[in-house]
Chain A
């Protein structure tokens, strides 16, 4: 089963760029990397997904090196409303089933 490792928590200030790195050493060839955001008392919300190199949308960028053993979620110019838990997920590299496993995530606190 593909595992991910993220920092437990991070602090930042409004207006700064935040980079959250996720390690996934046993990612499978066909696996995608997906990031979710969760606010208190809400379900997770999809942020971004990628396979290799760089993906950018209106919310974030995702950087994936050539070996794909890690990925970095980049949030430009964070605001107080970006305070949330961020989860990195990869597919199951062993048996190709369709389940998803969330880790503990990274708790980002944005300060004024």
Chain B
């Protein structure tokens, strides 16, 4: 199993540009989520999904959209990039069961917005 994969590893955007960060998992996990981590800070939840077709907002959803058309994929879209979105983005997945909080994290995407 590849686990959780994220692409790209690095990305530089100009203010106002849009892009999609890709996330895929091959463990058949129901639950997937996106976090951002600013330098020296903990992770903050952006959006999450408890299954295909179901998404919900986390702590910091503004400026981001998600969709979950398949169990495997959970892309994160930046609608109009802003310098405040410069961060490292992590995708994670975990098995079904809302008390099962063992999440598997991807390697991250480092995004810089100029």
B45 pairs with A100, CB closer than 8 A? yes
B58 pairs with A103, CB closer than 8 A? no
A34 pairs with B59, CB closer than 8 A? no
Given contacts A99-B56, A101-B45, A104-B42, contact A46 B103 (CB under 8 A): yes
Instruction: Specify which chain B residues have a CB less than 8 angstroms from the CB of A49 in the assembled complex.
Output: 101-102
User: What mask results when residues 79 to 112 of chain A are scored 1 for a CB within 8 Å of chain B, else 0?
Assistant: 0000001010101000011111111110000000
What is the minimal beta-carbon distance from B43 to any residue of chain A, in angstroms?
Answer: 4
Instruction: Specify which chain B residues have a CB less than 8 angstroms from the CB of A41 in the assembled complex.
Output: 108
B99 pairs with A31, CB closer than 8 A? yes
Total interface residues in chain B, CB < 8 Å: 27
What is the minimal beta-carbon distance from A66 to any residue of chain B, in angstroms?
Answer: 19
Size bin of chain A's contact surface: 20 to 34
Q: Does B68 interact with chain A (Cβ within 8 Å)?
A: no
What is the minimal beta-carbon distance from A9 to any residue of chain B, in angstroms?
Answer: 11
Q: Does B41 interact with chain A (Cβ within 8 Å)?
A: yes
Interface residue from A43, A46, A98, A105 paired with B102 (Cβ < 8 Å): A46
Interface residue from B41, B98, B107 paired with A104 (Cβ < 8 Å): B41
B31 pairs with A98, CB closer than 8 A? yes
A32 pairs with B103, CB closer than 8 A? no
Interface residue from B35, B50, B98, B104 paired with A102 (Cβ < 8 Å): B35
Interface residue from B56, B101, B107, B108 paired with A100 (Cβ < 8 Å): B101
Q: Using a CB-CB cutoff of 8 Å, which residues 53-98 of chain A contact chain B?
A: 85, 87, 89, 91, 96-98
Pairs A–B under 8 Å by Cβ, sample size 16: A30-B99, A32-B101, A43-B4, A43-B106, A43-B108, A45-B105, A46-B102, A91-B101, A98-B31, A98-B48, A99-B33, A100-B33, A102-B35, A102-B43, A102-B44, A102-B45
For the complex of A and B, 3 pairs with smallest distance between CB atoms? A43-B105, A102-B43, A98-B98
